[in-house]
């Protein structure tokens, strides 16, 4: 294991810390603001909630886990359905709050009886197809943003050209980028796509000009503003998706353990990191941000720089929180044209779907076994087909997958022993250079 430049508890100098924290800010920025852009939440609240959530996570994990928490892509479909179907932000945040409570409950169970049970509940044959569903179910959203002019509701070649330029930039940075450039392909794609969109005349700067430098963001506090009723359909839309993000969380902790050379599953413990993730999601629900998850992009920065200091991560969280109060920045984010976000979404959503496929391959799932074929088939068709019987398709697919895995005879423990490796591979699929870096270490 290569000696770290800064270990987990080491404190950087002021200017060194500022530059290192800014790197982490860039790594998470594109994906974190994309989620609220897609579902209709405030980008400012996404930044503030990610900063506050990360600081809470660091405190709960006793400053032993250098992880940054940003907006989770797994909840885009249920959030979009709730907000854009007339439910509004309040019910969406109530659903987010309950997702956080699920994390807290799982953390308490792990504290009491260990974590092996969750690996058996969420084997790759269940999690892999669900991840594929998440990516593919978002494909229509990405293509509409890439092609449709929101003013005329018609296809536009100008808009499509912006999406293509954005997508190609992100692809080139993903494949050929070196150093930090290779770790921020989404941000790089957004910047280049934004500049091209400005050249072709589809960027509106009026909101940026009107915005003040300092603005109090639109804190939602939905649980205080709305009648305290818990819509069952909202809970059923949101909560089952937590099975995917919990497995993602476990994978991230295993990756981090390998990078920093410490067993984070045992110390500070998986129960603490899941509790931290849940607390961050509850904080988001209280202020109006999307659910949170640990970010593979920032794990890539750790692997590349060999800087593991939680103080650097905390610095990025503080900067993100401050950015949420700078009106010019949030107005600039809001001015990003739809085809720019559509271009990066094509890559991001495709990577999500491909990661689920990769998990199945890496776990050596045998599709000659009819049991595995049945489980994956049901999850894929129910999830992508959009079945809705009080429970949205993705959530229903997750539940059915878990139940089929439990009750169908002939299940093998094999795949569970591969879970840890496959979870690592799933995460590293977001950044191919991270895989090479880990192998070199």
pLDDT the model gives residue 253 = 86
- Domain ranges (residues) in the chain: 14-429
CA distance 294 to 429: 15
Structure tokens at 51: 């900063």
pLDDT the model gives residue 96 = 92
pLDDT the model gives residue 189 = 86
**pLDDT per position as a tens digit, 38-64:** 888 888 889 999 999 999 999 999 999
pLDDT the model gives residue 428 = 40
Closest CA to 69 of 344, 275, 350, 325: 275
Greatest Cα-to-Cα distance within the chain, rounded to the nearest angstrom? 64
pLDDT the model gives residue 391 = 56
Structure tokens at 441: 């270490």
Q: Which are the contacts of 80, defined by CB distance < 8 A and separation ≥ 6? A: 38, 39, 40, 141
CA distance 56 to 419: 28
CA distance 372 to 269: 32
Q: How far is CA 184 from the centre of its chain?
A: 15
Question: pLDDT in tens for each of the 441 residues of the chain?
Answer: 568 888 899 898 888 888 889 878 877 887 888 888 888 888 888 999 999 999 999 999 999 999 999 998 888 888 888 887 766 788 888 889 999 999 999 999 999 988 778 877 888 888 888 888 888 887 888 888 889 887 777 888 998 999 999 999 988 988 887 766 766 777 788 889 999 999 988 888 888 888 788 877 776 665 555 455 667 777 878 888 887 788 788 878 887 888 888 889 888 999 999 999 999 999 999 988 999 999 877 887 887 778 899 999 999 999 999 988 988 888 888 788 889 888 888 888 888 788 788 878 888 888 888 999 999 999 999 888 866 555 567 778 888 888 998 888 876 544 444 344 444 344 444 444 444 544 444
pTM of the model: 0.79
């Amino acid at each position: 294991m290569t000696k770290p430049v800064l270990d987990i508890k080491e404190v950087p100098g002021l200017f060194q810390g500022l530059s290192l924290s800014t790197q982490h800010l860039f790594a998470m920025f594109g994906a974190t603001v994309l989620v609220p852009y897609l579902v209709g939440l405030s980008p400012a609240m996404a930044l503030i909630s990610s900063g506050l959530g990360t600081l809470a996570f660091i405190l709960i994990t006793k400053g032993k886990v250098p992880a940054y928490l940003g907006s989770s892509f797994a909840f885009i479909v249920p959030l979009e359905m709730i907000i854009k179907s007339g439910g509004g932000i309040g019910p969406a945040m109530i659903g987010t709050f309950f997702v956080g409570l699920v994390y807290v409950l799982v953390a308490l169970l792990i504290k009491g009886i260990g974590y092996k049970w969750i690996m058996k509940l969420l084997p790759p044959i269940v999690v892999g197809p669900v991840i594929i569903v998440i990516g593919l179910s978002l494909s229509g959203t990405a293509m509409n943003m890439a092609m449709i002019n929101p003013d005329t509701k018609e296809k536009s070649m100008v808009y499509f050209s912006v999406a293509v330029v954005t997508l190609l930039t992100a692809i080139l940075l993903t494949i050929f980028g070196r150093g930090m450039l290779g770790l921020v392909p989404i941000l790089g794609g957004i910047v280049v796509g934004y500049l091209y969109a400005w050249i072709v005349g589809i960027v509106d700067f009026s909101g940026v000009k009107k915005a003040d430098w300092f603005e109090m963001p639109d804190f939602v506090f939905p649980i205080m503003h709305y009648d305290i009723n818990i819509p069952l359909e909202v809970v059923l839309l949101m909560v089952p998706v937590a099975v995917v993000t919990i497995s993602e969380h476990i994978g991230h902790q295993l990756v981090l353990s390998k990078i920093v050379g410490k067993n984070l599953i045992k110390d500070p413990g998986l129960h603490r990191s899941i509790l931290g993730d849940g607390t961050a999601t509850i904080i988001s629900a209280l202020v109006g941000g999307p659910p949170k998850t640990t970010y593979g992009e920032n794990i890539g920065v750790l692997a590349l720089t060999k800087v593991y200091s939680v103080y650097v991560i905390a610095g990025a969280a503080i900067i993100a929180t401050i950015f949420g109060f700078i009106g010019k920045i949030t107005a600039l984010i809001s001015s990003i044209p739809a085809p720019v976000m559509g271009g990066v979404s094509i890559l991001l959503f495709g990577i999500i779907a491909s990661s689920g496929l990769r998990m199945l391959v890496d776990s050596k799932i045998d599709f000659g076994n009819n049991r595995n074929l049945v489980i994956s088939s049901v999850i894929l068709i129910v999830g992508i087909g959009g079945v809705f019987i009080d429970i949205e398709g993705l959530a229903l697919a997750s539940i059915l997958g878990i139940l089929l895995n439990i009750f169908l005879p002939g299940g093998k423990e094999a795949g569970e022993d591969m879970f840890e490796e496959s979870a690592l591979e799933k995460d590293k699929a977001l950044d191919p250079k991270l895989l090479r870096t880990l192998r070199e270490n």
